[in-house]
Amino acid sequence: MKDQYQVVVIGGGIVGCSVAYHLTLRGLTDVAVIERAELTAGSTWHAAGGFHAINSDTDVAALQKYTIALYPEIEAESGQSIGLKLSGGLELAGTPERAEWLKSELAWLRSMGTEAYLLTPKEAAEMVPIIDPTGLTGALFDPHEGNLDPNGATHAYAGAAKKRGAEVILHNRVLSLSRLPGGQWRVETEQGAITAEHVVNAAGLWARRVGKMVGVDHPLVPMPHHYLITEAIPEVAAIEGLMPAVTDLEGFTYLQREGDGVLLGLYEQNPRHWQVEGAPWDFGMTLFPEEIDRIMPELSIGFERFPVLQNVGIRRWVNGAFTFTPDGNPLVGPVAGIPNYWAACGCMSGFSQCAGIGLVLANWIIDGDPGLDAFGMDVARFGPYASNDRYLRDTTAQFYARRFVMAYPNEQLPAGRPLKTTPCYDDLAAAGAQFSVNWGLEVPLYFAPTTEFEENDTLGRSNAEPIVAEEVAAVRSAAGAYEIAQYARYEVSGAGAEAWLDHLVASRIPAVGRIRLAPMLGEAGRLMGDLSVTRLAEQRFWLTGSYYLQTWHQRWFQQQLPDGGVTLRNITDDWMGFSLSGPASRAILERLAHDDVSDAAFPFLAVRTMDVGTARAVVGRLSLTGELGYEIVVPTIQHRTLLQQLREAGEASGLRLIGDRAIDSLRLEKAYGIWNAEFTQAYTPGMSGLDRFVAFDKGDFIGRKAALHEREAGAAQRLVLLEVDAADADASADDGIWIGDRRVGFVTSGAYGHHVNKSLALAYVDREVIESADEIEVFVVGNARPARILAEAPYDPKGSKLRG
């Protein structure tokens, strides 16, 4: 061991070893993996070693595909056998809805370039003869599944990293981390102190403890998990070649071949936690006693689905711990305020994700950028609220128990809720609000007319759609009030505020009293935000962005802030309000405001501080619905009063409370994109159409060079609006767009346009087909639906209502 390294990776599990390998692959070879005990001594040694490419986040799924494709290379480069069995895998459907769902999964897999296919239950049982097909409704075969030897794979990564120059130091616990005056890390270990430029927390079961060494409380917890391995089974021994893995989705179990027997693992509905603060430091390569009573319900279903298990001996039980985060994806990347500390932890699917994590983190450490849209695994996707122990227990237990449970797109899950509510929560609930959750905050989806109303979980349009239609109609004909507590707001002030913002965002900076839509770019020219910049005074601005990006955006802002002259404050929870829009919105505002809000005095994109009812409000003239509208925000303490006064003033004009679902319908009628759908780190100004807000001719700004290059070269894909000949379901994110057997794009969001009576979808489509495409099909819930690219928004394409 040297006393100095460029990067110290704490933890020699599958993730730490992959991070070290990827760093060396990129040429950064002054790397040490420091391991407390032996390689694999955390969760890795007792894993089942199964892998698959499926993930609810498409970018994470692509990284899983990368992970699987890399295994043969790692094996070859290291010379270490990894026991790779690319057997493919079956997913079994146990209900008619699940069979439908498998159709949409098939369409999604094909969009990802995977040659999966559907089977009948009988065909599935022919493929894996120990399946009893009774009660099954269908199956899907995915060739990108399999399993390997966890120990071999970890040693292969470590060996390949060593060949490229990394060191692996065993039996050496990292005891503490502290900052040296020069900014490097002092890494205190059992074998002595090391100076490191960067430290990576790949400490698996101990990662929460290691995070706390630098003052970070990562939202992850260990949970025990069971599988069993049987003695030889004649029917399995008789299978020549590989046996596909099997996931019985309605049965909560997974099964893979293990020698001539099988391994059966299960995700029980009654999971438990272990050592929420992290494993004890002296925890060995230890298993817990099996808890048969607790897992009996799922085990019994497994024994029915695979009846041979009833007559075969169990060779070994494994009940070991691994870590979960609230959404089941890992925590990767830098943490705001702690330069050169990197998370690579919270990984529950190490053998599907290790290379993806390694690739992203190596890019980030070396280039300062993950190189792709890694938000789905970014440590900054959670806020401090997520590390609360009770929240963590509730959400991770929900995730664990629902691992194989079918998720409906309109389903609302209860764990950890309500966590954050606005002062209007009770009033909105009394008005019928059905809530969704955004970064812990309860946000209205729509307002049900009766307390008895219950939305059905469905893959298609739900019974709430007529209510959404009424909310849309109210906005188009009268007015709607939409709570905008879920906008993040940052105040930027100080002598250097304008100059800093001018460099930060790609648009021009507005004049005092004006608002401007401002794309924010990374150095590589990809989007970092679709902010609006509001200029309240010469050197006082508000930046408005997405609520759930607060940690992510603040990390970025902090990286860019100069040493002095600019003060940035997150005022999100201090100011809230309503977006009032519709043809009657001016009349309603006039009843509450003393200022002249006529078009001449208060034009589109103006902002002013004025009295609205009894509040001193900041009012901006803009809307997301395509109608005349105003965003009215007040100090949070007056938010509830504002609602009451708006409702009183709006009653005579037909004002209606509206929620997110109506906003989706209204914005699609105007082809307006939003962050997390049309705008993400995966896209650029040229692709998304946000280039119309980019001031290429102003001075330098972050990402200008790349944006100019894109303007010259042209973007390969562009955002378009589609009208879909949908039946009883609208398109949704990631639905593939095809011309014949060629995939030409994918949907970013879809909704029914209730005013224009069209099923609409925003989508990225290959540039070369946009002009000529006439045979386009979109796969909606797995069914091909004809679609057309619309040349302009179907509602008020010239924007006269908005400016009215």
Question: Which DSSP category does 380 fall into?
Answer: G
State which of positions 327-346 bind ligand FAD (CB under 6 A): 345
Q: Which of 458, 366, 363 is nearest to 100 (CA)?
A: 458
Residue at token pair 């309605």: 250
Q: Which of 305-333 are b and which e, b meaning 16 or more Cβ less than 10 Å from the residue's Cβ?
A: bbebbeebeeeeebbbbbbbbbbbbbbbb
Residue 14 interacts with ligand FAD (CB under 6 A): yes or no:
yes
Among 32, 116, 318, 379, binds ligand FAD (CB under 6 A): 318
Per CB under 6 A, the segment of 198-206, 529-537, 686-694, 704-712 that binds ligand FAD is 198-206
What is the C-alpha separation between 109 and 746, in angstroms, rounded? 12
Nearer to ligand FAD, 341 or 779 (CB): 341
CB of 287 to ligand FAD, least distance (A): 8
Nearer to ligand FAD, 318 or 441 (CB): 318
**263: phi then psi, degrees, rounded to nearest 5:** -110, 125
Nearer to ligand FAD, 149 or 648 (CB): 149
Nearer to ligand FAD, 10 or 139 (CB): 10
CB of 225 to ligand FAD, least distance (A): 4
Among 8, 23, 32, 47, binds ligand FAD (CB under 6 A): 47
Spatial strand order of the sheet with 629-635 comes to 607-612, 615-620, 629-635, 575-581, 479-483, 655-658
Taking residues 51 to 70 in sequence order and writing x for each that binds ligand FAD by CB under 6 A, - otherwise, the string is x-------------------
What is the C-alpha separation between 763 and 734, in angstroms, rounded? 9
Q: Which of 394, 383, 451 is nearest to 417 (CA)?
A: 394
Number of residues that bind ligand FAD (CB under 6 A): 42
Q: Are strands 261-266 and 253-258 parallel, antiparallel or unpaired?
A: antiparallel
Nearer to ligand FAD, 48 or 518 (CB): 48
Among 7, 9, 23, 35, binds ligand FAD (CB under 6 A): 35
Taking residues 349 to 378 in sequence order and writing x for each that binds ligand FAD by CB under 6 A, - otherwise, the string is xxxx--------------------------
Question: Which phi-psi region, left, alpha or beta, contains residue 113 (left: φ > 0; alpha: ψ -120 to 50)?
Answer: left
Note whether 632 and 577 are within 8 A (CB). yes
What is the C-alpha separation between 272 and 274, in angstroms, rounded? 7
Among 13, 356, 444, 620, binds ligand FAD (CB under 6 A): 13
Q: Are strands 338-345 and 192-201 parallel, antiparallel or unpaired?
A: parallel
Nearer to ligand FAD, 146 or 673 (CB): 146
Residue 444 interacts with ligand FAD (CB under 6 A): yes or no:
no
Among 71, 227, 399, 446, binds ligand FAD (CB under 6 A): 227
Nearer to ligand FAD, 347 or 361 (CB): 347
Among 25, 37, 336, 473, binds ligand FAD (CB under 6 A): 37
> How far from each other are the two terminal CA atoms of the chain, in whole angstroms?
71
What is the C-alpha separation between 599 and 596, in angstroms, rounded? 9
Peptide bond into 418 cis (omega under 30): yes
Residue 89 interacts with ligand FAD (CB under 6 A): yes or no:
no
Per CB under 6 A, the segment of 191-199, 269-277, 319-327, 509-517 that binds ligand FAD is 319-327
Residue 572 interacts with ligand FAD (CB under 6 A): yes or no:
no
Paired tokens of 396: 């991770």
Residue 400 interacts with ligand FAD (CB under 6 A): yes or no:
no
CB of 61 to ligand FAD, least distance (A): 14
Taking residues 402 to 431 in sequence order and writing x for each that binds ligand FAD by CB under 6 A, - otherwise, the string is ------------------------------
Among 65, 225, 381, 758, binds ligand FAD (CB under 6 A): 225
Residue 779 interacts with ligand FAD (CB under 6 A): yes or no:
no
DSSP string, 8-39: EEE--SHHHHHHHHHHHHTT---EEEE-SSST
The burial class, CB within 10 Å (0-12 / 13-18 / 19+), for 300 is exposed
Helix, strand, or coil (residue 144): coil
Among 16, 146, 251, 629, binds ligand FAD (CB under 6 A): 16
Nearer to ligand FAD, 276 or 469 (CB): 276
Per CB under 6 A, the segment of 9-17, 406-414, 626-634, 724-732 that binds ligand FAD is 9-17
Residue 15 interacts with ligand FAD (CB under 6 A): yes or no:
yes
Note whether 20 and 360 are within 8 A (CB). no
Residue 85 interacts with ligand FAD (CB under 6 A): yes or no:
no
Q: Which residues pair with 786 in a beta bridge?
A: 777
Question: Which DSSP category does 119 fall into?
Answer: E
What is the C-alpha separation between 446 and 346, in angstroms, rounded? 34
Residue 204 interacts with ligand FAD (CB under 6 A): yes or no:
yes
CB of 347 to ligand FAD, least distance (A): 4
109-to-65, 112, 374, 458, 722 alpha-carbon distances in Å: 11, 5, 20, 21, 22
Q: Which residues pair with 324 in a beta bridge?
A: 221
What is the C-alpha separation between 395 and 405, in angstroms, rounded? 15
Residue 161 interacts with ligand FAD (CB under 6 A): yes or no:
no
Among 24, 43, 151, 748, binds ligand FAD (CB under 6 A): 43
Residue 221 interacts with ligand FAD (CB under 6 A): yes or no:
no
- Interface with ligand FAD by CB under 6 A: which residues? 10-16, 34-37, 41-44, 46-51, 173-174, 202-206, 210, 225, 227, 318, 320-322, 345, 347-352
